[in-house]
Amino acid sequence: MSNPTEDNQIKAYLLAGEDEKAFQFLVSTYQKKLYYQIRRIVTFHDDADDILQEVLINIWKNIKNFKWESALNSWLYRIATNECLQHIRKNKKRSNQISADEYQNLLHADVFFDGDEFELKLQTAIAQLPDKQRIVFTYKYFEDLKYEEIQTILGGSVGSLKASYHHAVKKIEEFVNSN
Amino acid sequence: MFNLENHKKKISKNPFATPENYFEDNEKKALQKIKSLPKENSRKIFYPLIYISGAAAAVFILFFSIQNTTEINQNLNSINLTSSDIPYDYFDDLTIDEVSENITVLDSSNYETIDYLLDEDISLELIAENYSL
């Protein structure tokens, strides 16, 4: 996901004191990637939209504190992941509080879900995972991030991240095969 | 049997749709939002300014208070009171306690004062007891 050329441009704008330009450039470069990653974690568009707004505001408030010692994308993902977790904790529609059938029905009725029957099953299986496994799985499976990159976003050891991913894969395969 | 690794290779379509022009609109919305935020930021800058001003004022007041006290002490030190400065007539109406209080402050070992107290029929024992002679 990292875009060195774009990241340098953002840094240059910030150093020149052109904060708004830097922010605008950052949003146009990263908002789609952030949105889809958030969407993979929370599934529904309305939730993803709310979270993305908060994420962008947090980025604006803290971009000057970013040290540029680590990759910008890891920092952005970290903010997005934290917001997702906060949202999940607050949200009454929390996926693991409702049954898989109910979740599947909600997703089926969602006008912004464009997947086939198999995607419906897959997303429902992902939604049934515990928060950490779900987040690790989405970063690894869909974003193809290395465990070391996921580690900079979520913390913890590489070993525990590997275990989370392994458990997530097993649970999803079991869910899809049994449904 | 379903296998996720095999499925990964087949993923071609994104199942997540968005409203039309969502990202363009969202970019504009985000820019509008951050333009309304500097007011909050300026308030954040304003509070430290109040704290700094308050601290500077406190240091200023403390400095002049100390300087003023030092000057008063220096003035007091420059006053050399002798027994001749004690208005004996003033003692006439005073009790032994009031006198002792005044003498303690001025000079309790002053012989002329002790003579005065003896003249006033105050016993030497009492004087000795009160002034650690």
Average pLDDT score over chain A: 90
Of B2, B8, B22, the CB nearest to A173: B2
Query: Which residues of chain A are in CATH 1.10.10.10 domains?
Result: 96-179
Q: Are B63 and B95 found together in one domain? A: no
A133, A164 contact by CB (below 8 A): yes
* B23/A113 touch (CB, cutoff 8 Å), yes or no: no
d(CA B78, nearest CA chain A) in Å: 60
Helix or strand (DSSP H, E) at B76 = helix B38-78
Q: Which is more confident, B132 or A15? A: A15
Chain B partners within 8 Å of A171 (Cβ): none
d(CA A90, CA A22): 31
Other Cβ atoms within 10 Å of A127 Cβ, number: 21
> What interface predicted TM-score (ipTM) does this complex get?
0.83
Range of the domain at B107: 80-133
Residue B10 lies in a domain: no
- pLDDT tens figures, A75-119: 999 999 999 999 988 875 555 567 888 888 888 889 999 888 888
- pLDDT tens figures, B72-85: 777 766 666 555 56
B14 and A CB contact within 8 Å: yes
Domain A1-91 falls under CATH 3.30.565.10: no
* A31/B26 touch (CB, cutoff 8 Å), yes or no: yes
CA proximity to B91, closest of B116, B114, B126, B122 = B116
DSSP B16: B
Residue B8 lies in a domain: no
Chain A partners within 8 Å of B26 (Cβ): 27, 31, 35, 49, 52-53
Handedness of CA A107, A110, A116, A119 (dihedral sign): negative
A66, A22 contact by CB (below 8 A): no
Q: Provide the number of CB pairs (under 8 Å) joining chain A to chain B.
A: 78
DSSP A96: G
Q: What's the confidence (pLDDT) of residue A94?
A: 53
d(CA A87, CA A112): 19
In order along chain B (133 residues), what is the average pLDDT of each group of 10 residues?
A: 73 84 94 78 59 83 81 69 56 56 54 73 73 57
How many domains is chain B partitioned into structurally? 2
Domain at A96-179: CATH architecture: Orthogonal Bundle (1.10)
In chain B, which residue's Cα lies nearest the Cα of A168? B4
Q: Is A168 exposed, middle or buried (0-12, 13-18, 19+ CB in 10 A)?
A: buried
A129, A137 contact by CB (below 8 A): yes
